[in-house]
């Protein structure tokens, strides 16, 4: 089975925007699977033209990676 694409055990990496490259601690909890770098990169490539000042709904935010990525790219804020 392929290892999840995040920057190490217990960390996520912001992949774009003003906080690009920052690593954030994530608790190792059963069932917690942060959104992979590849999925976030694809999503934000699609959303790039409309992300600035947009509101982001980070449903089921376990690690908060998606909302933090949106904030890094100048979204108005996660909801």
- Sorted by where each starts, the structural domains of the chain and their CATH numbers stand as 11-78 (3.40.50.150)
pLDDT of residue 41: 93
pLDDT tens by residue, 22-50: 998 988 888 888 888 899 999 999 999 99
Q: 42 in the Ramachandran plot: left (φ > 0), alpha (ψ -120 to 50) or beta? A: alpha
């Amino acid at each position: 089975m392929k290892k999840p694409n995040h920057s190490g055990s217990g960390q996520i990496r912001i992949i774009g925007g003003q906080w690009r490259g920052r690593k954030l601690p994530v608790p190792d909890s059963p069932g917690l699977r942060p959104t992979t770098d590849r999925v976030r990169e694809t999503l934000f490539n699609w959303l790039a033209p409309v992300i600035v000042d947009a509101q982001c709904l980070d449903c089921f935010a376990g690690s908060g990676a998606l909302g933090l990525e949106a904030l890094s790219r100048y979204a108005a804020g996660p909801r």
